[in-house]
Structure 1
Amino acid sequence: MTHTSQLDGSDMALRITSATSKVGVVLVAVVLGFALGFFAMFLLGPTAGALTLLAVTVATVVFCGRTFRAEDEPTAPPRPAWRLTGGTTSSVVMAGFFILQGLSTVLALAAGDDGAAVAVVSALVYAALAAAYVLSAVAQRAGRLRAQHPGGVG
C-alpha cells in the first residue's frame, strides 16, 4: 500500500509500505537505469553509459531510503538522514549487495576491462553506499538496544 502523510500542513510526502510496490519501484529503476545507460553509451560512449547507470543507482537508493517504510514503521515523520531501511536486517542485506557490486567492479578491472577510471569511481561509490547501509544498521541496532535497556551505561 502507498501512503501519503501530512508533514507541515501543505506538503504531502510519499510513503511506500507495500512489498509489491517496493519491488515494482526497484524493477522500474533497474530497467530505467539500463535503458538510460545504454542510451548514454550509444550517444557518448561507454564511460557516459557507466556513469549514467551509477547515477541512477544512487538516485534509486536515495529515493527508496526516503520513501520506503517497513510495516511496523511510522509513515508520518521523515526518517533521520542516516536511516536507509526499516530494519537492521534490510540494511545488512543492502550493504552486502553493494559490497558485491564493488567487488565485481574491481574484478572486472583486474580482468582487463577497459575504463579504469570509471571502474575506480564505481567501486568507490559502491563502497560508500555499502558503508552508508552498515552505518544505518549499526545505528538502528544501537537505538533498539537503548530502547530495550533504558538508563543503561553508555
Structure 2
Amino acid sequence: MEERTGRRVYAPMQWWPLRVMNPWHKAGFLVSTILGGGSLASSAYLVFPAEPVHVVWSVVATALVIVLARSFRGRGEPVDPPRPWWRLTAFPRASWWLGVFYLVSTPAVFAVAEGAGDVVDAITSLFFAAAFLNCAARLTFSRTRS
C-alpha cells in the first residue's frame, strides 16, 4: 500500500485464495453476507422447520465469520502467506473490541436460549469471545516483545 496525494492505495483483491485489503471491499463482503444469508435463512424458514434451519444457519454463519476473518488483511499485513491459525484480525485493538463484544453478549444469548439453535448461538458466541481475546492477547504480546 502506498500513499499518493493523500489517498491510500490498496493491493488488489485476490479471489483464490481470497484476500481482501480495501475497507470498502470488506464492507461490501459483510453487507452481502448479511443480506444474502438473511434472505436464504428467511426463505428456508418458509420451507423447513424452524429449529433445524436455526442450527444450520448458526453453523454456516460461524463458518462465514471464520472465512472472512481469515481472508481480510489489514494495512501492512502480508497478503500472500496464510495467517497463523489463531490470528483473526490485523491489529490488537480490533481483537480486543470484538472479543469483549462477544464476551458481553454471551450471557444475553444464554439467557434467552430455548432450543438447540439458541444453544448453538450461545456456544458460538463464547467460542468467538475466546478466539478474539486469544488473538488480542497474542498480538499485544508480540508487539510488546518487538
Name the TM-score, length of structure 1 as normaliser: 0.77
What is the aligned counterpart of 2:41 among 28, 37, 50?
37
- Point out where structure 1 has 5 or more consecutive residues left out of the alignment: 6-11, 148-154
Identity of aligned residues (%): 26
- Point out where structure 2 has 5 or more consecutive residues left out of the alignment: 1-9
Shift of 1:85: 0.5
**Is 1:120 the equivalent of 2:96?**
no
**Partner letter of residue 68 of structure 2?**
C
Preserved contact between residue 58 and residue 117 of structure 2 (Cα < 8 Å): no
CA RMSD after TM alignment = 2.0
CA offsets 1:7-64 (integer angstroms, 9 cap, x no match): xxxxx52211111111111111111221222222222222123223312321221111
What is the aligned counterpart of 1:73 among 74, 77, 95?
77
SS of the residue 2:17 aligns to: strand
User: What is the match of residue 53 of structure 1?
Assistant: 57
- 1:31/1:103 Cα in 2 relative to 1: closer, same or farther (>3 Å)? farther
What CA distance in whole angstroms lies between the structure 2 residues aligned with 1:78 and 1:145? 23
What is the aligned counterpart of 2:102 among 75, 98, 104?
98
**Is 1:19 the equivalent of 2:18?**
no
How many correspondences in the alignment? 136
User: What is the match of residue 150 of structure 1?
Assistant: none
**Partner letter of residue 4 of structure 1?**
Q
Preserved contact between residue 36 and residue 53 of structure 1 (Cα < 8 Å): no
SS of the residue 1:79 aligns to: coil
User: What is the match of residue 144 of structure 1?
Assistant: 143
**Is 1:89 the equivalent of 2:99?**
no
List structure 1 runs of 4+ shifted beyond 4 angstroms: none
Name the TM-score, length of structure 2 as normaliser: 0.81
SS of the residue 2:13 aligns to: strand
Shift of 1:83: 0.2
